[in-house]
Structure 1
Amino acid sequence: MSANETNDASAEHNRRDFLYIATGMAGVVGVAGAVWPFIDQLRPDASTLAVAQIDVDLTEVQAGQSITAMWRGKPVFIRNRTEAEIEAARETPLADLPDQLARNENLPADASADDVSRSAGEGRENWLVMVGVCTHLGCVPLSQQGDFGAWFCPCHGSHYDTAGRIRRGPAPENLHIPAYEFISDTVIRIG
């Protein structure tokens, strides 16, 4: 083989490699262009994103009253507890609780279920914000009922205390507390 034939073979080999790579890249771009509409439709729409966070005005909620807000399709119980309700929750020994974890998304996962960890925190112990879904089978507990005068799920008999902690019945966990923050003295943002 002469030097010219070797150079021609090498040039042909390089052209062939380039064509393979270019064809492969064109195929990848074509497939991506065809698949993108299907991937794009999986993103949440504007109405879903709009309820990712809600602001709740608490100015009208007096001590001893509860309101229910809807967040992500679930009820959220917001209660302005009385001093007696706070005291009852504080007096409950943690050893008496079936679930001793706070279940509060605003705190570390291993935070204990003491009253302050279940409430809005120091200085705001009167506020209790919880997802209003029974942790047994997903029913919605009734407010200001049950053996502890707080929440009662009549479906299977779960009783929660004034801090939303399971005290009696089949529910395995305390009512969950969503991520929230006070954005003013009277408005909370959930989510």
Structure 2
Amino acid sequence: MAEIHADEPTRRDFLYVATGSLAAVGAAAAIWPLIDQMNPDASVLALASIEIDISNIPVGQETTFKWRGKPVFVRHRTEEEIKAAEDVDVASLPDPQPDDARLMTGPNGELEKQWLVVIGICTHLGCVPLSYRGEYDGYFCPCHGSVYDTSGRIRKGPAPTNLEVPPYAFISDTKIKIG
């Protein structure tokens, strides 16, 4: 009878390792498509961020853009609109938020008070509010009567919160990137 030493690998050991390795590679190859299909498709990634040229929006006007299937209002506020937004007693608001907290700093590091960027969807039931309407010359949702001011903050009506501010940043004096 031949004597086998435990130190030396046998042919059977090699077959076990080779079979296990092949099974692991096969399992990974079978599972990868299931994991990869959970990633967003190209059309969603394309809408993840947009760059907007704001140089063509005159003072006192607003332009609507589409981002992730939602309307985004970009408003070039007048000095009167900025003053009206800053002079509000924040404690009296249903969703207290100062005007400065709803704005971003520009490329020069200063707060860009003249630019308001909000998602144009009423926070009550998802209607699109009308611009430059309502008691505060901000936004008015005709569906249920929610009234927002020139900073997009809820002032009256059933809406529970202010108009949402999307993530955005100034990439130059004339362009902003949303998303």
TM-score w.r.t. length of structure 2: 0.85
SS of 2:144's equivalent?
A: coil
> 1:142 is matched with which residue?
130
> 2:112 is matched with which residue?
124
Q: Note if 1:168 corresponds to 2:152.
A: no
Q: Note if 1:92 corresponds to 2:91.
A: no
Alpha-carbon contact 1:86-1:162 (below 8 Å) kept: yes
Q: Note if 1:34 corresponds to 2:30.
A: yes
> 1:158 is matched with which residue?
146
Which amino acid is the alignment partner of residue 117 of structure 1?
Answer: A
**Structure that is richer in helix per residue:** 1
Q: Tell me how far apart the structure 1 counterparts of residues 17 and 135 of structure 2 sit (CA, whole Å).
A: 73
Distance verdict in 2 for CA 1:72–1:3, change over 3 Å:
same
> 1:105 is matched with which residue?
none
* Aligned pairs (5 A) from 1:20-99: 20-99=16-95
User: What is the CA-CA distance between 1:21 and the residue it aligns to?
Assistant: 4.6
Percent identical across equivalent pairs? 57
Deviation readout 1:136-178 (Å, 9 max, x if unpaired): 2222111111221111112222111110111111212111111
Q: Note if 1:190 corresponds to 2:175.
A: no
Q: Tell me how far apart the structure 2 counterparts of residues 21 and 97 of structure 1 sit (CA, whole Å).
A: 69
Which amino acid is the alignment partner of residue 24 of structure 1?
Answer: G
Q: Note if 1:114 corresponds to 2:98.
A: yes
Moved more, 134-143 or 20-29: 20-29
Which amino acid is the alignment partner of residue 177 of structure 1?
Answer: V
Distance verdict in 2 for CA 1:131–1:17, change over 3 Å:
farther
TM-score w.r.t. length of structure 1: 0.80
Which amino acid is the alignment partner of residue 69 of structure 2?
Answer: G
What RMSD over aligned residues (CA atoms) do the two structures have, in Å? 2.3
For structure 1, which runs of at least 5 residues remain unmatched after alignment? 101-112
Alpha-carbon contact 1:65-1:80 (below 8 Å) kept: yes
Which amino acid is the alignment partner of residue 59 of structure 1?
Answer: S
